[in-house]
Amino acid sequence: MKDKEFEPIIGLEIHVELKTKSKMFCGCSADYFSHKPNTHCCPVCLGLPGALPVPNKKAVEWCIKLGLALNCKIPLFSKFDRKNYFYPDLPKGYQISQYDRPFCVNGWLDIKSQIPNSKRIRIRRVHMEEDTGKLIHANINGKKCTLIDFNRSGIPLVEIVTEPDIRSSEDAKIFLKQLYQIIRYLDISDADMEKGSMRLEPNISVRVKSQKFLRLPFSQIQDKRSGQAKIKSNNELLDNNDLPNYKVEVKNINSFNFVKKAIDFEINRQLEILVNGGVPKQETRGWDDKKNITYPQRSKEEAHDYRYFPEPDIPPVRWTTNQILNIKDQIPELPYKKIDRFIRNFQISQYDAMILTDDIKTANYFEECVILINRFGKKSEISPKIIANNIINKKVNINKNTPAEIMNIIEKKAEKFHVDDKELEQIINKLIKQYPKAVKEYKTGKTGVLMFLIGQVMKTLKGKGDALVIRKFLEKALQ
């Protein structure tokens, strides 16, 4: 296997805490962050004998809503399962999750990748489970110990699992950003990674792409500028038979940039092992954001290690087609559709449309301003492009001013700098006669002199006028 050509195989697992008022299987408040430890608990959270779970209907509906937004199929029959493992933050000794009958399956999300322009990442499943407690490592009376806060235990947790269709760390980052945006648009989670509301876990392996040999040993494979391995990209979808016989999962990353760095580090680490004839261990690793390295935690479990079996205390969930359609009707216009509509209807650039739709609040604010154009625009020729520029460049504060107030501000600015076309033509004609040398230089190809003439026009106008408009009129007059 030495010196062969390799490519990365990347899949993602993403955990998202839903912002319901109560927990997944009990009535405890889900608003646990920054509260005193173990104050948001009950017998169900703590797994006490005789306590019975009751599913949170809103959480289940939101899970379905996310699945539909990711183009998933929604089976009309689903169930909860017990995932058995022993860890201090899991008081019951098992986690209520879903195994073979998840709520959402076989979806996809198209990402805007550089090569090609669009790439489809398949979604294997979107399922519902409960979050675990939180371990807090402390030093008490000079002794190291681990404390457990069960406030987080039982918080509704959605897991999104992709197929291993991602071939680069950059595409993984693009996918995660688009997913984050969709979650925020649906208003089902704050997805605050600093608070742990959205946790990112890439699964990374590297496979031999072909029998074609590379000319360089591993020590020379790395790009001198980026320090990243030079790996040829492949956009083909893999069958399970094509996958490497191992994978490494990096757990609980809380930043898009850290995910990218962790993937790049793992690709290089695994490549070094492979080109030297070894096989990387199948294991779970952590990410050290100070050293920018991954480190081993434990050997990676398989599904049979968890001894899944149906949750006996919760009946199976059955849907009707009408129920699914009702949830689908609640999905707002999603970012990628809004971008296309903004470009088509408002004649703004793709860049501007992407900035404006980055969050739904800004997108809605922009549209509310555009609706007011008929009221304000006839006087000052305000356009969607002018509104977009003011919002994007932070010339107006959308958090303090209503759309009507913003339009008044923009109109006053436009009136302040507005110059009548006839007035502008008269000034330009006068300056052309005043500076014949500059005009001659322009006509001989010294186009840089145009900036001098624009400056003279604006000086005469005492700061009024738009430089682009002045340039247009000047070029026309000089012809």
Which residues lie below 8 Å from residue 83, measured CB to CB, with a gap of 6+?
A: 94, 95, 96, 97, 99, 129, 306, 308
Of the candidates 400, 398, 334, 343, the residue with the CA atom closest to the CA atom of residue 369: 398
Q: What is the mean pLDDT of residues 104-117?
A: 81
Q: What is the mean pLDDT of residues 348-356?
A: 92
Among 67-71, 151-155, 416-420, the least confident range = 416-420
Element (DSSP H or E) covering residue 7: strand 4-17
Tens-place pLDDT, residues 140-183 = 999 999 999 999 999 999 999 999 999 999 999 999 999 999 99
Using the predicted structure, report yes or no on whether residue 114 has a pLDDT greater than 70: no
Tens-place pLDDT, residues 361-408 = 999 999 999 998 877 555 456 789 889 988 988 777 888 889 988 888
CB distance 266 to 233 below 8 Å:
no
Where are the domains positioned within the chain? 4-318, 335-417, 421-478
Q: What would the DSSP string read from start to end of 338-353?
A: HHHHHHHHH---HHHH
Q: What is the largest CA-CA distance in the chain?
A: 96
Angle at the Cα of 419 (from 415 to 425), degrees rounded to 5?
170
Tens-place pLDDT, residues 185-236 = 999 999 999 999 999 999 999 998 753 333 333 333 444 334 444 444 334 4
Using the predicted structure, report yes or no on whether residue 412 has a pLDDT greater than 80: no
Question: What are the structure tokens assigned to 200, written together?
Answer: 């990112």
The 10 Å Cβ neighbour count of residue 427 is 19
- Local structure of residue 20 (DSSP, 8 states): -
Tens-place pLDDT, residues 237-285 = 444 457 898 999 999 899 999 999 999 999 999 999 998 889 999 999 9
- Start-to-end CA span in the chain (Å): 68
One-letter amino acid at 148 equals I
Half-sphere CA count of 362, side-chain side, radius 13 A: 23
Rounded to the nearest integer, the mean pLDDT of the chain is 86
Angle between the N-to-C axes of helices 467-478 and 421-434, in degrees from 0 to 180, rounded to the nearest 10? 60
Select from 1.10.10.410, 1.10.10.10, 3.30.420.10, 3.10.580.10 the CATH code of 421-478: 1.10.10.410
CB distance 474 to 447 below 8 Å:
no
